[in-house]
Structure 1
Amino acid sequence: MMTFHRSDSARQVGRGIAGALMLAAIWELSARGLDLPAYVLPSVSSILSGMAGDAATLLQAARFTASEALAGYVIGCLIGMALAVLASMLPNVRSVIVPLATAINSVPVVAYSPLVLLWFGMGMASKIVMVAVAVSITIFLSTIAGLDRVDRKSVDLIRSFGASQLAILWRLRLPTALPLIIAGMRVSTVRSVIVAIVTEMLGAYGGLGWVIYQAVLQIDFVKVWAAIIVASSISLAFFGVISFVERRYVFWK
């Protein structure tokens, strides 16, 4: 079974690489064949050349953004899961938290960025807060949905053996909810990077969003694309790590 999963994963990675190479080739041929200006679509070779020339700047910005996204992601996951567990165990708390989370989630998270920048400044703290808010809402909603999936008869059965509410949560409800929790975590990987970059574009001292904003002001569209590709690479790596964890530890789904 483990060999099957590994070979299947290897095939998926191989298809992904082949698809990326095919897209890059079509992109390169289109940009050069149609003689497109850089502000419309620069060639892949010019972007790679720009990435090599600005490697130090892009790597520093990537570390900045990745640190913000990772810190906010971890904090958001912990907050989201804690609130979901609390809401599932206390109906009165649930009646308050669920409508509030739904209301916050109905508005694009970046709409809160100006307020967060005003409260926490233009440093890393404001980006971490924004990522944590975005991730915590996603994780909360997926966790609460997972906890609600538990079979009522199973709860009654384990309770008949004298299991406490915490034992039921740990032995039955959380394992049942884990597939939805990990799915929310997987979706949140990309969301965390997006929110960090958008918030950086609105006000920052560093990061890929700041690099993109400065490059637009300087009309350096090759650098814009270079930063976008680096950001995409971070998102894909982050997504891949959580997907690996999902396949490794949530195998029963």
Structure 2
Amino acid sequence: MSNKTAALGADIAIGVAGPLLVLVLWEALVRGLAVPTYVLPAPSAIAAQVVTDLPLLLGGLGVTLGEAAAGYAIGAAIALALACLFVLAPVLERILLPVLVALNSVPVVAFAPVALLWFGMGPASKIAMVTLAVGFAVFVNAHHGLRAVDESAANLLRSFGAGPLRQMVLLRVPAALPSIMNGLRVAVVRSMIIAIVAEMIGAYKGLGWTIFEATQQVDFLRVWAAIAVASAASMAVYGVVNWLDRRLVFWR
């Protein structure tokens, strides 16, 4: 077995051991202290509820993942394009950057009424909110990475006749990949959170709607089951982005 395979196995083992330890302690404390289910259910009770409500939860998960993925892709694409544009055209950066900062100085949830008014109760309003939340996280990291290049390397390319666009492709984007991937990792978690919160504010389906509906019905086990499914899905997607990070930024 190669060193890389052994290191990957060790990372997976450590990553699994932490959550398992938390679940074991959680189960023991809830049972030992006889905590009521409506206050904090045991992990075993939550798992049983997940099995019982699996068709409902999987249907809601499909809707939420679709909204989060669409908003994630759109937000990341816009953010990367803006970051490159600002580096290539500093005048636009001076004009538009204050606008972006002003938009993101307000919690994304505050825009929920506007999003619902403009795009309705369907998936479009959730995608718009996820796009806004994801975009700034990716933009900040990408913009920093594109600017933090070795100036001597940029001067060398310039001496060979490379213009700003060619420098962007050959130097700035590859050098910024670690920062870009950091932004994409952070954005994964934000996309799921915003999609679920947006569904709780106004939707017809999705995990957020399931949580809201179960809360209205005082069915706290179903609330925790939906939270558990959402957490598992977020961790899985986060793992995929981490894998892509290892593949694309192999020198780090």
| TM-score, normalised with respect to structure 1 | 0.96
One-letter identity of the residue aligned with 1:201? M
- Equivalent residues in 2 for 1:194-205, closer than 5 Å: 194-205=193-204
Matched, 1:184 2:183: yes
- For 1:69 and 1:25, the matched residues in 2 are separated by 31
Indicate the residue corresponding to 1:84 in structure 2.
83
CA RMSD of aligned residues (A): 1.2
- Who is 1:147 aligned against? 146
Q: Does the CA contact (< 8 Å) of 2:88 and 2:165 recur in 1?
A: no
* 1:183-222 deviation digits (Å, cap 9, x = unpaired): 1001100000000000000000111110111111111111
**Structure 1: gaps (5+ residues):** none
Q: Provide the residue aligned with 1:101 in structure 2.
A: 100
Aligned to 1:241: 240
Cα deviation, residue 244, structure 1: 0.4
**Residue identity (%):** 47
1:66 equivalent in structure 2: 65
Superposition TM-score, scaled by structure 2 size: 0.97
CA shift, 1:6, in A, is 3.0
Alignment partners' CA distance in 2, 1:7 and 1:70: 32
Structure 1 position 30, deviation (Å): 1.2
Deviation of the 1:20 alpha carbon: 1.8
Determine if the alignment matches structure 1 residue 212 to structure 2 residue 211: yes
Structural mapping, 1:26-175, within 5 Å: 26-175=25-174
Q: Deviations over 1:114-147 (max 9, x none)?
A: 1101110111111111111111111111111011
Shift of 1:44: 1.3
Deviates more, 1:202-211 or 1:152-161: 152-161
Q: For 1:183 and 1:17, how far apart are their aligned partners in 2? A: 22
* SS state at 1:41 partner: coil
Q: Which residue of 2 is the match for residue 224 of structure 1?
A: 223
More deviation in 8-17 or 240-249?
8-17
Where do 5+ consecutive residues of structure 2 fail to align? Answer: none
- Following the alignment from structure 1 to structure 2, what is the Cα–Cα distance between the partners of residues 6 and 95? 47
Between 189-198 and 24-33, report the one with greater CA deviation: 24-33
Measure the CA separation in 2 of the matches of 1:140 and 1:197: 22
Aligned-partner SS, 1:70: helix
How far is 1:35 from its partner? 1.1
In the TM superposition, what is the alpha-carbon distance from 1:101 to its structure 2 partner? 1.7
Aligned pairs, how many? 252
